[in-house]
Amino acid sequence: MDLLDAGSPREVIEKVAKHLDCSPTSREVAEYFDKNDKLRHLRQEFLFPKVAQLPTSDLSLVGGSEDCIYFVGNSLGLQPKNVKKYIDEELKKWATIGAHGHVMGSRPWAWAENDLEDLMAKVVGAKPEEVALMNGLTVNLHLLLLAFYQPIATRHKILLEDKAFPSDHYAVESQIRLRGFDPSTSMLFVKPRPGEDTLRTEDIVSTIEREGHSIAVVMLSGVQYYTGQLFNMEVITKAGQNQGCYVGFDCAHAVGNADLRLHDWGVDFACWCTYKYVNSGAGGLAGAFIHEKHVDRVKPALLGWWGHNLKTRFQMTNEMDLQPGVNGYRLSNQPVLLVCPLQASLEIFNQTTMKDLRKKSILLTGYLEYLLKHYYSKKASDPHKPCVHIITPSNPAERGCQLSLSFSLPIRAVFKELEKRGVACDMREPNVLRVAPVPLYNSFSDVHRFITVLGSALAASNKD
């Protein structure tokens, strides 16, 4: 029997420990997981900073020659090895054949991003024709909302989560004002219950059922950036559509993380960036999805020549021959320099599946959670011991890779001490540390190392 299929992460850890006759917190358990990790070879596809290379490392506290503990792929994914090679190919093309590069080579610049859309579609669970790679996330969000958010007096609200990512919040606000409505009456927030950090699906659904007649668009994140909560997109989509709302998701933290099925869930629209879990580099090319059911129904509000049928686009007739679905939303030629890193990354995703990545991720993050709880649960018997509060839901189905943590010590100090010891993670004021072991390139040994380092970091923070 494959021990890794033995049940919940906790059950798996304890069974393996028993099998190895060691403590569940022993390094041997991590080594066993890594040895049996079918995806461990994918780590070699990425460029890992060494501890000594990170500017915040204190080499009196940690060895410099090891890979750093890179748990911030939820903010900026690591560089795939082939990025430089692909970019060099395009620079060489530019230098040797100039403008001919638009139609020649392995990445003709006039349609290079289109050639990646089937790989991208696999990652989000869509058909290729439902996906466009273009622009930045917020630009895409605006283009989608301009088409999907067409409020009338009786149906004018946009529902989003409380403490949505600021960019989404401002984007929605400005869309509402553009349409002549008032954000104070047209922005509807679904909040956690008092004393809780995350949203209950039943509360989202009941809000939608109660207010849905006046909601034009339900627009949540797929994974909440702050709490790490993974929303039940399928249930929310149905609930919203049952009330006659369009339902869309900002999948910035969900793409390459959760096992998305945008098409099967009937999601109306979605957008995402690719520099997080999809490793395309800072400011990388963004994505947009529009369900094929809307191919003739929801037309783009803003047009540009890239939405015109490719066959006749360059005849310059100024008579729009609009491409169907999301393809009509394209505005201009996308830069090949951004296609290259994205291609390198999607090729790695294509060596596996989101299903397998998710399976590893559930165990990887579950392992992190297990160790955190083992060492740092609040203990009545030892009130002065540093302890951790995990904000992210404990149900693996309600989270991605990321755990959002707060400590009984000031977060800034903990963060600083972790960074000194070669950990790359993310701090969000006022009180949260986000750590995201990603299945593509993190290991169980990374997690075990992190816990050891965390111990030193907490001890060092506690001294002050």
Shortest CB 31 distance to a second copy, Å: 25
Any contact of residue 186 with a second copy (CB under 8 A)?
A: no
Among 59, 104, 152, 459, binds a second copy (CB under 8 A): 104
Shortest Cβ 264–a second copy spacing (Å): 29
Q: Which two tokens stand for residue 95?
A: 């230098």
135, with CB counted inside 10 A (0-12, 13-18, 19+), is buried
- Of 79, 186, 198, 345, the residue at the interface with a second copy (CB under 8 A) is 79
Residue number, 354 or 405, with CB nearest to a second copy: 405
Please work out the total of residues on this chain that contact a second copy, with binding judged by CB under 8 A: 87
Number of Cβ within a 10 Å radius of residue 209 = 13
- Spatial distance between the Cα atoms of 287 and 292, rounded to a whole number of angstroms: 16
Provide the minimum distance between the beta carbon of 2 and a second copy in the complex, in angstroms, as a whole number. Answer: 34
Q: Of the two residues 134 and 447, which places its CB atom closer to a second copy in the complex?
A: 134
Indicate which single residue of 39, 68, 405, 418 sits in contact with a second copy (rule: CB under 8 A): 68
Q: Is 427 in the site for a second copy (CB under 8 A)?
A: no
* One of 19, 63, 66, 96 touching a second copy (CB under 8 A): 96
Q: Which stretch binds a second copy (CB under 8 A): 14-22, 28-36, 153-161, 326-334?
A: 326-334
Looking at the Cβ atoms of 197 and 426, the one nearer to a second copy is: 426
> Which listed range, 24-32, 34-42, 81-89, 219-227, lies at the site for a second copy (CB under 8 A)?
81-89
Q: Stretches 276-284, 398-406, 440-448, 456-464: which one binds a second copy (CB under 8 A)? A: 276-284
CB distance 232 to 208 below 8 Å: no
For a second copy, give the closer residue by CB, 107 or 263. Answer: 107
Of 186, 224, 257, 334, the one binding a second copy by CB under 8 A: 334
167 has binding-site annotation: yes
What is the separation of C-alpha 273 from the centre of its chain, rounded to a whole number of angstroms? 8
Query: Which residue, 284 or 366, has its beta carbon nearer to a second copy?
Result: 284
With a CB cutoff of 8 Å and minimum separation 6, the contacts of 131 are 117, 120, 121, 124, 287, 288, 289, 326
CB of 351 to a second copy, least distance (A): 20
Window 107-146: contact mask with a second copy (x via CB under 8 A): --xx------------------------xxxxx--x---x
Positions 280 through 319 that interact with a second copy (CB under 8 A): 281-285, 300-308, 310-318
**Binding residues among 146-185 for a second copy as defined by CB under 8 A:** 146, 165-171, 173-175, 177-178
**327 carries a ligand binding annotation:** no
